[in-house]
C-alpha cells in the first residue's frame, strides 16, 4: 500500500513540474517612458445667479357663498362629532323618514337625510343665506335633542343607582 501511494505522489509531482515548465514566464513590465496624456485647461464653471423669487400671488377673494360653504362644512363636521346618533335619528324619524331606512345609517348619513328631508342642498353646493340660516336652525335643534338625551341618560343613572 505504501508503494502505491508513493508512486501516485511521485507521478503527481512529475506532472506538476511538467506543467510549470510549459507555462510562459511572466516578465515584469517596466515602461521606459510612457507618453503623458495632455492635461486639459481648467475652465471655471459659470454658476447662474439665483432667480428672484416670484411675487406671491394674492389670495383669491372668497365670495360670501364660499365662506358660508366652509362655515357650514365645519358646522356639519362638528355636529357629526358631538351630537348623539339618537338625536339625529329622532330628527330624521320626525321628518317622516321610515325606521327601516334609518336603522343602519351613520350619524353623518342621518344628518344628510335630515337635511335632504328639509329640501336643503348637499354639502358640496354653494349655499344661499337662507340655506345657511336653515342649516344653523337644524344644528341648534340637534344640539337641543342631544342635551335632552344626555339629561334622560343622567336621570336614568340616578334612578338606577
Tell me the DSSP string of 102-161.
HTT--HHHHHHHHHHHTTPPPTTSPPPHHHHHHHHHHHHHHHHHHHHHHHHHHHHHHHH-
Q: Taking residues 83-112, report their average pLDDT.
A: 91
Whether 59 is in a domain gets the answer: no
CA distances from 149 to 89, 90, 106, 110 (A): 12, 10, 18, 17
Using the predicted structure, report yes or no on whether residue 22 has a pLDDT greater than 90.
no
Using the predicted structure, report yes or no on whether residue 130 has a pLDDT greater than 80.
yes
- Please, are residues 146 and 87 in contact by the beta-carbon 8 Å criterion? yes
Whether 130 is in a domain gets the answer: yes
Whether 34 is in a domain gets the answer: no
Whether 117 is in a domain gets the answer: yes
Q: Which one has a higher pLDDT value, 78 or 58?
A: 78
Q: Taking residues 105-113, report their average pLDDT.
A: 93
Whether 106 is in a domain gets the answer: yes
Name the pTM for this structure.
0.59
Whether 38 is in a domain gets the answer: no
Each residue of 56-66: pLDDT tens digit? 877 777 688 88
Whether 153 is in a domain gets the answer: yes
Whether 148 is in a domain gets the answer: yes
- Please, are residues 71 and 102 in contact by the beta-carbon 8 Å criterion? no
Q: 113 lies in which domain range?
A: 64-160
Work out how many domains the chain is built from and give that number.
1
- Can you give the pLDDT at residue 161? 61
Amino acid at each position: 500500500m505504501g508503494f502505491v501511494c508513493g508512486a501516485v505522489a511521485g507521478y503527481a509531482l512529475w506532472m506538476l513540474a511538467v506543467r510549470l515548465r510549459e507555462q510562459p514566464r511572466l516578465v515584469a513590465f517596466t515602461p521606459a517612458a510612457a507618453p503623458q496624456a495632455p492635461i486639459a485647461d481648467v475652465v471655471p464653471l459659470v454658476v447662474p445667479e439665483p432667480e428672484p423669487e416670484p411675487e406671491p400671488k394674492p389670495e383669491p377673494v372668497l365670495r360670501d357663498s364660499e365662506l358660508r360653504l366652509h362655515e357650514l362644512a365645519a358646522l356639519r363636521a362638528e355636529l357629526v362629532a358631538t351630537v348623539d346618533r339618537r338625536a339625529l335619528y329622532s330628527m330624521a324619524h320626525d321628518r317622516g323618514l321610515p325606521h327601516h331606512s334609518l336603522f343602519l345609517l351613520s350619524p353623518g348619513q342621518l344628518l344628510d337625510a335630515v337635511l335632504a328631508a328639509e329640501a336643503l342642498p348637499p354639502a358640496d353646493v354653494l349655499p344661499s343665506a337662507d340655506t345657511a340660516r336653515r342649516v344653523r336652525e337644524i344644528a341648534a335643534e340637534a344640539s337641543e335633542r342631544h342635551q335632552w338625551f344626555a339629561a334622560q341618560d343622567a336621570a336614568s343613572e340616578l334612578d338606577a343607582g
